Amino acid sequence: MKAVVVHGAGDLRVEQRPDPRPAPGEVLVAMEWGGICGSDLSYWKHGSTGTAVLRHPMVLGHEVAGRIRELGAGVTGLEPGQPVTFHPAKLVGPLPEHLAGRSNLHPEVRYFGSAASDPHTDGGFCELKAVPVDQVRPLPGGVSTRHGAVAEPLAVALHAVRRAGDVRGRTVLVNGCGAIGSLVVAAAKFAGAGAVIAADVRAASLDVARAMGADRTVNVGSDELLPADAEISFEASGVTRALGSVLRATAKGGTVVQVGNLPGTDAPAALGDLVTRELTWIGSYRFAEEIDDAIAALAEGLDVGPLITHTFGIDEAEQAMRVAADPGAGSGKVLLRLGG
């Protein structure tokens, strides 16, 4: 089978690997679509993402979907040809009691396409993948595998909205309208937000956010966010210099959810309004079981189509990565056609 393998910084190869077979309790899936994430780009550009450092060649990809090819021994309730996506996290050991219901914070996780552990965990940018049955999520009728590949980042967005509490009828700001930010826009609207304001420095990103449901957009490259606009703000850019304006634009007593990854090193940020506006500032990391909510939302009509701006074949993986990494390319979510 073909697989998209990163060997080091700047070294991405589409190479042949042996076809896998499903072990007992596993499902063999013929992969069809994979979405490129920021962590995939970071492994390709830097050989690392966050504290995870690439030590061996690794198959990329954790936003994936396909169709069941074969069931391993003991697997029931699924059938060949069934479209599926995945929960890409496998927990190692029991969840500590104080983290009940928050499996995303488990101290040891094996995640598709992650070098956080050694040996690394291969991802799903390949033609065939054997997956433990408890990580398989069937897609309901009307949800294509193309859209199913977006269920994982949609789950990230739904988790962020859940962290904010009840958004029904409230004014929401989303700063940073890349793929996750635009999905937060859609998730907030789906959860009943009264009005969603989307902010970014790129016109193309704001166009996508508008198509995903934003009621108003602000190009912060030329305009300022107005003070006290939003009862709930989502900071999805991960740019520390943006924090001051987001805090200032959040109404007194409001909530700011940090969903964009912040750097792990010292960085200047204007945080005074956190105190004087008595804001609640909380983090949001990946998701717990919101992958099931994401699939349900897709079935109920949440449309991720406008987010998908580019598609490439598996043999064009490096070109796809270049487009996804280029701010001037106007990309939202870039998908790889893995097979099918």
pLDDT computed for residue 322 by the predictor: 98
CATH of 2-150+304-337, one of 2.160.20.80, 3.90.180.10, 3.40.50.300, 3.30.365.10: 3.90.180.10
pLDDT computed for residue 148 by the predictor: 98
pLDDT computed for residue 280 by the predictor: 97
pLDDT computed for residue 256 by the predictor: 98
Which fold does the domain 155-283 belong to in CATH? Rossmann fold (3.40.50)
- b/e sequence 117-154, b meaning 16+ C-beta within 10 Å: eeebbbbbbbbbbbbbbebbbebeeebebbbbbbbbbb
The CA–CA distances, whole Å, from 221 to 44, 74, 198, 203, 242 equal: 29, 56, 13, 9, 11
> Where in the chain do CATH 3.90.180.10 domains reside?
2-150+304-337
SS (H, E, C) 17-86: CCCCCCCCCEEEEEEEEEECCHHHHHHHHHCEECCEECCCCEECCCEEEEEEEEECCCCCCCCCCCEEEE
pLDDT computed for residue 159 by the predictor: 98
pLDDT computed for residue 92 by the predictor: 93
Task: Give me the residues paired with residue 5 across strands.
Answer: 13, 59
Q: Which residues contact 293 (CB under 8 A, 6 or more apart)?
A: 155, 158
Calpha distance 160→163 (Å, rounded): 5
> Where in the chain do CATH 3.40.50.720 domains reside?
155-283
Tens digits of per-residue pLDDT, 143-169? 999 999 999 999 999 999 999 999 999
Among 67-71, 91-95, 120-124, 183-187, whose mean pLDDT is lowest?
91-95
Confidence bin at 246 (pLDDT 50/70/90)? very high
DSSP-assigned letters across all residues of 263-316: PSS------HHHHHTT-EEEE--S-SSHHHHHHHHHHTT---GGGEEEEEEGGG
Average pLDDT over residues 36-48: 96
Strands 280-283 and 48-49, how do they pair?
unpaired
Q: Is the pLDDT of residue 258 over 80?
A: yes
> Is this prediction's pTM over 0.85?
yes
Average pLDDT over residues 297-304: 98
